[in-house]
């Protein structure tokens, strides 16, 4: 019997006794205990994982009704409530800190209680009445130990497919457009941050675009592992209290609803005691972050100046750059990209460490892994869009790169076959020391004609056509 103390609180009961819960909260006794037990970060599990929990609970209720284990009317109310959770409309009722029980049990129970109470409300029953029970009905055929890692993997997969991969595609397209528009612009290449042979600006941008596209393929390839779920293993991987075929049917419903290739694992012990699939995905996110860092840093270098830097690229001025120097404008978008990439590197280290903390049949850092892996996917997606919209779409090539190519002593490299390495080196050194062009020096110390030198030293020929195709 529900006992209400006042309009502000109600009394809920679990196996440890009575607990005061806010009167209008959908969560119950176990989530409230966890809320009080873990006043750590003020941040809960990611909304993507909450979405995964909602999707799983709704599909589980439908399957339990189909196989005759759950009353159809109860299942219908649970499905409706779970759909609201999956739509992230009830996130405010997920009150447990991410630094909690390592299995994610507190958050699984938080979802069970929210769905049960919301389902009760839908049916016209009182919150806390347990006319729909969080354990007996919402958690039927499940355990936190198979549900939470499944929700984590599902949440990461959805974040990758719906947020990150589209953002990467848009960024790659922008870089390809820049490559097309700047392919005739020739500048000095650089190795070791020192002058090297000429390159086309478009070749650089094409290279960046292809880095992004290859990164997207690597990340997309991790979806196959992420979509292999440990559902059905229940407490330790043996499937206790799950009906035969239950997990396979739930996964089929999840696949139909999400469009992902969701399937039950063929080995619950490996899938449930570790989150290797999350480590795999996190590694691919880290790999792309390292590529994005390189692109962002290159753009920052090329835009340095305007008078005493490279000044080969002009990027949009988006905000004042200094509290004391009025004219200063900084490459703040690039710097934001570099920082978020650094966070992804840190997150990946956290994910790898967290996955090592599995003992026997259970990993005990699941919420920690979920938080870091999801954050990596989300900030990379947001960073790709920010970088594209606020920096690259307004970037322009300056005349500085083309101007400096003709003065570059490194062009003497093109004379190696005609005059030999040592003679070419002498020409380069004299050009650098005197400030004269390579052609001028070569006319004096070789038998090559001006016409021959023009052909050998033509920057456009030296760049070739590499990187021209999309």
**C-beta separation of 348 from 376 below 8 A:** yes
171 plus 313 within the same structural domain: yes
Residue 226 lies in a domain: yes
Assess whether 339 and 448 both reside in one domain: no
Which of these three, 400, 418, 449, is where a domain ends?
Answer: 400
pTM: 0.95
Q: Which of 168, 190, 467 is nearest to 292 (CA)?
A: 168
Number of domains in the chain: 3
Asked if residue 92 and residue 26 are part of one domain, the reply reads yes
Q: What percent of the chain has pLDDT over 90?
A: 96
Phi, psi angle pair for 191, to nearest 5°: -130, 140
Q: Is residue 466 part of a domain?
A: no
Residues 348 and 442 in one domain: no
CATH code, domain with 411: 1.10.40.30
27 and 105 assigned to the same domain:
yes
Q: What is the CATH number of the domain that holds 300?
A: 1.20.200.10
469's CB contacts (< 8 A; 6+ apart) are none
If asked whether residues 91 and 162 sit together in one domain, one would say no
- Phi-psi label, residue 91: left if phi above 0, alpha if psi -120 to 50, beta otherwise: alpha
Whether residue 260 lies inside any domain: the answer is no
Predicted local confidence at residue 3, as pLDDT:
53
Give the strand pairing for 358-359 and 362-363: antiparallel
Is residue 255 in a domain? Answer: no
Same domain membership, residue 302 and residue 174: yes
pLDDT over 80 at 4, yes or no = no
Is the pLDDT confidence value at 456 over 90? yes
DSSP 12-53: EEETTEEEEEETT-S--HHHHHHHHH--SSS-BS-HHHHHHH
- Determine the average pLDDT of the residues in 47-67: 98
Domain boundary among 375, 400, 425: 400
Q: Are residues 193 and 338 in the same domain?
A: yes
What pLDDT score does 465 carry? 82
CB-count burial class (<10 Å; 0-12, 13-18, 19+) for 255: middle
- Residue 253 is assigned to a structural domain of this protein: no
Residue 2 within a domain: no
pLDDT value of position 1: 42
pLDDT for position 408: 92
The model's confidence at residue 470, banded by pLDDT at 50, 70 and 90, is confident
Q: Could you read off the pLDDT of 178-205 as tens digits, one per residue?
A: 999 999 999 999 999 999 999 999 999 9
Do 208 and 179 lie in one domain? The reply is: yes
Q: Mean pLDDT across the chain, nearest whole number?
A: 96
Residues 186 and 311 in one domain: yes
Same domain, 319 and 283: yes
> What pLDDT, in 10s, does the model give residues 204-244?
999 999 999 999 999 999 999 999 999 999 999 999 999 99
Has residue 57 got a pLDDT over 60? yes
Q: At 55, which CATH number?
A: 1.10.275.10
Of 90, 120, 140, which closes a domain? 140
Q: Give pLDDT tens digits for 111-151.
A: 999 999 999 999 999 999 999 999 999 999 999 999 999 99
- Of 366, 373, 372, nearest in space to 100 by CA: 366
4 in a structural domain: no
Tell me whether residue 165 is in a domain: yes
Indicate whether 172 and 225 sit together in one domain: yes
Phi, psi at 279, each rounded to 5°: -60, -40
How far is it, in rounded angstroms, from Cα 443 to Cα 423?
13
Query: Which residues form the catalytic set?
Result: 192, 322
435-444 mean pLDDT: 95
- Residue pair 212/175 in contact (Cβ under 8 Å)? The answer is yes
Percent of the chain with pLDDT over 70: 99
State which residues form the domain around 338.
Answer: 147-234+268-400
Q: Measure the CA–CA gap between 251 and 56, rounded to whole angstroms.
A: 8
């Amino acid at each position: 019997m529900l006992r209400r103390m006042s309009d502000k609180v109600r009394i809920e009961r679990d196996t440890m006794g009575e607990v005061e819960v806010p009167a209008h909260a959908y969560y119950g006794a176990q989530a409230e205990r966890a809320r009080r037990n873990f006043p750590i970060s003020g941040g809960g599990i990611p909304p993507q994982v909450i979405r995964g929990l909602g999707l799983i609970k709704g599909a589980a209720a439908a399957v339990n009704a189909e196989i005759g284990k759950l009353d159809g009317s109860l299942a219908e109310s649970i499905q409706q409530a779970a759909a609201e959770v999956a739509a992230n409309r009830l996130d405010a009722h997920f009150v447990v800190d991410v630094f909690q029980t390592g299995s994610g049990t507190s958050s699984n129970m938080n979802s069970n209680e929210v769905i049960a109470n919301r389902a009760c409300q839908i049916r016209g029953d009182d919150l806390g009445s347990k006319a729909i029970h969080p354990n007996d009905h919402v958690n039927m055929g499940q355990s936190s130990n198979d549900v939470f890692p499944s929700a984590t993997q599902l949440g990461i997969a959805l974040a990758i497919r719906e947020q990150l991969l589209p953002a990467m595609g848009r960024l790659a397209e922008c870089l390809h457009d820049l490559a097309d528009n700047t392919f005739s612009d020739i500048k000095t290449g650089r190795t070791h941050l020192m002058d090297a042979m000429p390159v086309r600006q478009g070749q650089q941008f094409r290279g960046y675009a292809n880095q992004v596209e290859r990164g997207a393929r690597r990340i997309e390839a991790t979806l196959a592992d992420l979509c292999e779920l440990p559902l059905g293993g229940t407490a330790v991987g043996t499937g206790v209290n799950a009906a035969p075929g239950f997990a396979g049917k739930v996964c089929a419903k999840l696949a139909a609803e999400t469009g992902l290739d969701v399937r039950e694992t063929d080995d619950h012990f490996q899938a449930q005691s570790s989150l290797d699939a999350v480590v795999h995905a996190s590694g691919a996110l880290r790999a792309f972050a390292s590529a994005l860092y390189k692109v962002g840093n290159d753009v920052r270098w090329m835009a340095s100046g305007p008078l005493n830097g490279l000044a080969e690229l002009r990027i949009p001025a988006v905000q004042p750059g200094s509290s004391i120097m009025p004219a200063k404008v900084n490459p703040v978008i690039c710097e934001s990209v570099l920082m978020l990439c650094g966070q992804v590197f840190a997150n990946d280290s956290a994910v790898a460490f967290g996955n090592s903390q599995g003992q026997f049949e259970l990993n005990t850092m699941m919420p920690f892994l979920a938080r870091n892996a999801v954050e990596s996917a989300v900030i990379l997606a947001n960073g790709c869009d920010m970088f594209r919209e606020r920096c690259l779409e307004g970037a322009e090539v300056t005349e500085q790169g083309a101007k400096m190519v003709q003065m570059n002593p490194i062009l003497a490299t093109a004379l190696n076959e005609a005059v030999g390495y040592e003679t070419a080196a002498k020409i380069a050194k004299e050009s650098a020391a005197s400030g004269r062009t390579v052609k001028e020096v070569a006319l004096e110390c070789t038998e090559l004609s001006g016409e021959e030198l023009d052909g050998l030293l033509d920057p456009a020929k030296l760049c070739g056509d590499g990187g021209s195709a999309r």
